[in-house]
Amino acid sequence: MFIWLFALGDLLSMLAMINMHYDIIPGWRFPFVSILYLVMKGILFFGDALTFIDLFFAVYMILMLVFNVHWFLTYIGIVYFVYKIIVGFFSSH
């Protein structure tokens, strides 16, 4: 059950990344909360390989939010978050 909460957080982070990339809903609060979630998870589980990827995408989302960059990394991030969501929701633990 606990891992489902992380999967839900990753889903919200992916939706925030898509939102920033396509400017669906303007604003900074939802992406900011997603960035904080990824950074806090990165600090909490520091040392894991996937944690470094989470921190990388948090920095990328900061660049998207502050400097309005839209690179191909968004699509790689979407694939990464979809993988984590599938593993999180369908995990047997």
How many domains does the chain divide into? 1
Residue 77 lies in a domain: yes
Asked if the model's pLDDT at residue 19 lies above 80, the reply is yes
Residue 30 lies in a domain: yes
Residue 54 lies in a domain: yes
For 50, residues 6+ apart whose C-beta sits below 8 A from its C-beta are: 84
At 48, phi and psi to the nearest 5? -80, 145
Instruction: Give pLDDT, residue 93.
Output: 60
Tell me the pTM.
0.90
Residue 72 lies in a domain: yes
Residue 84 lies in a domain: yes
Residue 13 sits in which domain range?
A: 2-88
Residue 93 lies in a domain: no
pLDDT digits (tens, 9 = 90+) for 66-89: 999 989 999 999 999 999 999 988
